[in-house]
Amino acid sequence: MGPRPSLVPKAGDLLVCAPCHTDDITRREAADAAREQAAMQPAPEGDRGQEPGKARRGLFRRRG
């Protein structure tokens, strides 16, 4: 005998109740829209010429 199929529904399965399935679809569409919006946003103006991970020189000044 082979392995028994799981009776526990997983996200995206059509076996879940209609409201749960609708929630899954809505979450997926919202995540896709957020990814697209993030990809379309321009780079911040203040970071031009700045290496990633390096602080600006004037950001932290020693006071003597």
Q: Six-digit token pair at 34?
A: 């957020």
Residue recorded with tokens 């005998």: 1
Q: In degrees, to the nearest 5, what angle opens at C-alpha 52 toward C-alphas 47 and 53? A: 115
Asked, for residue 3, whether it belongs to a domain, the answer is no
- Are 9 and 16 contacting, i.e. CB atoms less than 8 angstroms apart? yes
Range of the domain at 36: 11-41
Asked, for residue 31, whether it belongs to a domain, the answer is yes
Asked, for residue 55, whether it belongs to a domain, the answer is no
pTM of the model: 0.43
Asked, for residue 34, whether it belongs to a domain, the answer is yes
Q: Judge residue 60's burial from the number of C-beta atoms within 10 Å of its C-beta, 0-12 exposed, 13-18 middle, 19 or more buried.
A: exposed
pLDDT tens-digit map of 6-58: 667 676 566 677 788 788 889 999 999 999 998 887 766 665 555 666 656 66
Q: How many domains does the chain have?
A: 1
Q: Which backbone phi and psi does 42 adopt, to 5 degrees?
A: -70, 160
**What's the pLDDT score for residue 35?**
93
Asked, for residue 57, whether it belongs to a domain, the answer is no
